[in-house]
A and B are shown apart, each in its own frame.
Chain A
Amino acid sequence: MNKLVVFCEHQSHNLKRSSIELLQFGRSKNFHVVGVVLGSEGSAAAEQATANGAHEVLWFDDAKLNGYNPELFLTALEVGIKQSDARHVLAPASSIGRDVFPRLAARLDSSVASDCVALSVDDNAFVAKKPMYSGKCFAQVSLKDSPYQIVLMRANQLPVAAAGSSNAGAIKKAALPDVSLKTILKEVVKGASEKLDLTEANIIVSGGRGLKEAGNFKMLEDMANVLGATVGASRAVVDSGWVSHSMQVGQTGKTVAPTLYIAVGISGAIQHLAGMTGSKVIVAINNDPNAPIFQKATYGIVGDLFDVVPKLTEEFKKLLHK
């Protein structure tokens, strides 16, 4: 049985969905799955990893790993991979994943496939599907020739089944070696929103210039609150300073692929479309029947968004009993 290391990212003591997807994928492909959990706050996540497919978990129970430090995470992950004798590694294409795994790949004289949306195993080699030009086309990346095969997967791309019984796998403690640090984490400044990041959100409500002014984003926040969604934006309104860049969807913002994407007052520039066409269901609300966004939409409403959006929010409330 080939060994596979899965980086088990956790937030507020819970294993992230993106890591659960990878654990279950590894199990379904008959790997011996080793979850690596970092930080003294990872106890519950380690349990959840065993219930979601990990044959064993290496838990670095060390408070120094509670905040993100690139050097400490790099060291711990290298130890975890070497200890488990794995040549296959999966991690979420998250802020941490995208930061530490390319560096780890270079240390292991290996390549990395990042931001992937599908994954298969062909004769022990990972073959990952990767959007190019933010989704204008796709390529298959083969890691057959890489000593360590490291793939970073986007969230919400692989199916998740209900967790099995806990303590199915053993949790082993692992120790972080001493590192003389050159990088010091001084502070973490929380974002304005407690919601899921756009790259992890299952539903996104996105606004564009059609909203006319920054204050009108409140309408989208109201709808997002009812749906449990995250609010996004087009480049035009980010560049106008209405909302922060962290909310921008598109080729120079975030590439997203939620189950439901609701585009409000967004005409659909090619760069925006590239960033969201991977969404399963797309709703477009716009007053211009010729807006390019309708060519990518599943459902379209031509109308005055100031009229339609509040009514739609009311309908969602009724359906969801809120």
Chain B
Amino acid sequence: MKIFVGIKQVPDTETKIKLLPNGAGVDLTGVKWVVNPYDEFAIEEAVKIKEKNPGTQVFAITLGPKQRASEVLRTALAMGCDEGVVVNSNIELDNLSVAKALTAAIKAEGACDLLLLGKLAIDDNGSAVGPMVAELLGTPHISVVSKLELSGSTLKVERDVEGGAKEVFEVSTPCVLTANKGLNMPRYASLPGIMKAKKKVLKEYEAEALGVSASTAKSKMASFSMPEDKTAVKMLTGDASAQAQELARLLREDAKVI
């Protein structure tokens, strides 16, 4: 079985976001790039399947500027993925172009029985690329997966939906799944894992050679802005009874939200 794990490089969640002077984008200088947190669940699940099914190969794939993309892939390799695939792109691409480039690279690498990705990337909250790649590969997909049982080529999959409810699906490989928190506990890369990762193969593709570029984008992001400043907090004084009474009154009469 051949599994691909789709990974995105995102700024660490501690990052304070600054804009470029003209609002044309986000100032990314000095940002610490990490594996998108939801993609860690995808990596862990792929490696767990490999451990249970000898002969399984796990390929980690990512699109982005070569250097930071390679660094993030090393983390995936240290967690147990076998090979890395970098799709080099130095420009911001829209979700469809990213999906097209990833699909082309996966096809160039031969068969794919299972593609796992995070349910969304925490930078743009998109959740688009997984289902898009599934469409382009012509396989079914299930998103926001919190439980997965594989027997043979059949998968029993639980998907998280609103209000804590779960939909249980049955689907066969090949397919695409996007991982939610709760699917597993991602392991930390061990020291031997990190050493081994340095020797693993990283293949490279150029996004343009796979047919995507700035001119193929169907959507564009522009005019970045910061959240509006909040008015200063109104602190309520007195004992707990007075505070509670005044707060309830303000919410009712001033803010009119209850």
Q: Which residues of A contact B (CB under 8 A)?
A: 67-68, 70-71, 94-96, 98-100, 102-103, 105-107, 109-115, 130-147, 182-197, 199-200, 203, 227, 244-248, 251-253, 255, 259-260, 270-271, 274, 277-278, 280-284, 294-304, 307-308, 311-312, 314-316, 318-320
Contact = CB atoms under 8 A, between A and B. Distances in A.
Contacts of A320: 258
A102 B219 contact: no
A183 B218 CA distance: 29
Dominant SS among interface residues on chain B: mixed
Contacts of A277: 227, 230
Nearest to B123: A133
B164 A244 contact: yes
Given A246-B164, A298-B255, 6 more contacts: A98-B143, A106-B132, A134-B122, A185-B167, A278-B227, A282-B230
Given A133-B15, A186-B169, A283-B247, A308 B240 contact: yes
A203 B258 CA distance: 9
B218 A146 contact: yes
Contact of B171 (A94, A110, A113, A184): A184
A304 B164 contact: no
Contacts of A200: 162
B32 to A, nearest CB: 13
Interface stretch (B63-71, B94-102, B205-213): B94-102
A148 to B, nearest CB: 9
9 tightest A-B contacts by CB? Answer: A191-B164, A197-B162, A111-B218, A315-B248, A102-B128, A111-B219, A311-B244, A146-B218, A106-B135
27 contacts: A102-B129, A111-B217, A133-B15, A137-B19, A137-B224, A142-B219, A183-B170, A184-B169, A184-B170, A185-B167, A187-B167, A188-B166, A197-B162, A200-B162, A245-B180, A246-B160, A246-B164, A251-B122, A260-B257, A294-B233, A296-B230, A298-B231, A311-B241, A315-B245, A315-B247, A315-B248, A316-B248
